[in-house]
Structure 1
Amino acid sequence: MNDSNKVDLREAGAWLSGEIEIRVPKAWLAIAGVAIAVLLIVALD
């Protein structure tokens, strides 16, 4: 059961990342990632 759940999660993750890549340019993903990282660093500081 656990193995099938892991496979399902991987497939769902791949599908979600595929959807995001189709709708959002990778440049925006990179910018968002950096912005989130900076906010986390500031919040933890």
Structure 2
Amino acid sequence: MYKKINRLIDKIIEMQNEVNSLGSTLSVPENAINSIAAAIEKLTN
């Protein structure tokens, strides 16, 4: 269970990095990814 969640968090971090590298024109998807990441962090804590 936690291995799957950790893999998911890693994927989300990768997505965040890709979005960040594309620049501020993608602020809406970045916000959505941040919200998902925050929700997963709450589940794991």
* TM-score (norm. length: structure 2): 0.50
Cα RMSD (Å) of the superposition? 1.1
Runs of 4+ in structure 1 deviating by more than 3 angstroms, as ranges, are none
AA of the residue aligned to 2:15 = W
Higher normalized contact order (CA 8 Å, seq sep 6+, divided by chain length): 2
Give unmatched runs, 5+ long, in structure 2: 25-45
Instruction: Count residues with an aligned counterpart.
Output: 24
Aligned counterpart, 2:22: 22
Identity over the aligned pairs, expressed in percent?
4
* TM-score (norm. length: structure 1): 0.50
Q: Deviations over 1:1-45 (max 9, x none)?
A: 000000000000000000000116xxxxxxxxxxxxxxxxxxxxx
